[in-house]
Amino acid sequence: MTRERGRPRTFDIDEALDRAVDVFWKHGFQDASMHELTEAMGLSKPSLYAAFGDKEALYLKTLERYLQRLVERHAAALTEQADGRQAVHAFLRSLARMLVDPMLPGGCFIINGTADFGGSTIPASVEMALRTALGCSEAMILARLERAQRDGDMPAAAEPAALAALFGSLIAGLGVLAKSGASEAKLNTVIDTAMTVWPQAPRANTKRQLSAA
C-alpha cells in the first residue's frame, strides 16, 4: 500500500473558510488579496490552493458558506410565524440585526460583492453566483407571500411578485445603509415603514369590525 503524499492537514477547514468569508465580505472579490487571505486563514499559499483551489474557487466556497451559515438561519423566521405579515417583518428585522452585528464585517456579503460587477478581473462564475444569491432572499419572500395569500393574510388581488421585488430591493438597500454605518434602529425604522405597503386582507378587516362591535 502506498502512503499518501504530503503532510496531513493540521487546520480546521470550516474555521479557515469562515476567516476567508470575513476577508471577502469586507473587501469583495477584486480587492481581497491572496496575502490577506493567507494571513487571515493562517495558511501558506500552497496549503490554501491544495485545500480550496484558486481564489475564484475559494470565493465560491465562501459565498456558499455565507448562505448556509447566516442567511438560511434568518430564513427560519419566515416559517416560525403563522401570520404572513409578521413572518416577513421578523425575517427583515433578523437580517437587519446581522447586517449591523459588530462581530461581523458589516453590511451584506452579497451586496458588498456586487460592487465588483463589471470589473475586468471578476470571473464570470463569481458574478453569476452573486446574481443567483442576490435573488435568494427575494425568492424566499415570494414563496412566503404566496402562502400568505393562500392563507388569507393578504387579498387575492394582491401581487406577491411585485411585493417580493420591493422587499428584495429593500434588503439590498439595508445592506448599503449598514455598510455606511447606519444603526439597527434606523434599519428597523426603514423596515417598519416598508411594511405599511402590505395589502390589507378582507379577513383582517372583518376581524377588526367584529372586535369593534
Please provide the DSSP assignment of 150-192 as one string: HHTSS-TT--HHHHHHHHHHHHHHHHHHHHTT--HHHHHHHHH
Q: What per-residue confidence (pLDDT) applies to 73?
A: 82
Binned at pLDDT 50, 70 and 90, residue 16 comes out as very high
pLDDT (average), residues 115-135: 88
Mean pLDDT to the nearest integer, 187-194: 98
- DSSP-derived 3-state class of residue 71: helix
Which of 79, 84, 98 shows the shortest CA–CA distance to 164? 84
Q: How much is the average pLDDT of 36-65?
A: 95
The residue among 134, 191, 183, 143 whose CA lies nearest residue 167 is: 191
Mean pLDDT of the residues in the chain: 88
| pLDDT band per the 50, 70, 90 thresholds, residue 66 | very high
Mean pLDDT of 40-59: 94
Name all domains of the chain by residue range, CATH numbers in brackets. 13-197 (1.10.357.10)
Q: Three-state SS for 55?
A: helix
Distance CA(178)–CA(195), nearest Å, equals: 19
What percentage of residues in the chain have a pLDDT greater than 70? 89
**Is residue 12 very low, low, confident or very high in pLDDT (cuts 50, 70, 90)?**
confident
Q: How far apart are CA 81 and CA 147, in angstroms?
A: 12
**pLDDT at residue 208 tops 50:** no
Q: What angle do CA 165, 166, 169 make, to 5 degrees?
A: 85
Sign of torsion, CA 105 106 112 113? Answer: positive
**pLDDT band for position 121 (50/70/90)?**
confident
- The confidence score (pLDDT) of residue 117 equals 86
Mean predicted confidence (pLDDT) in 176-195: 96
Confidence of residue 202 (pLDDT cuts 50, 70, 90): low
Q: Residue 209 above 50 pLDDT? A: no
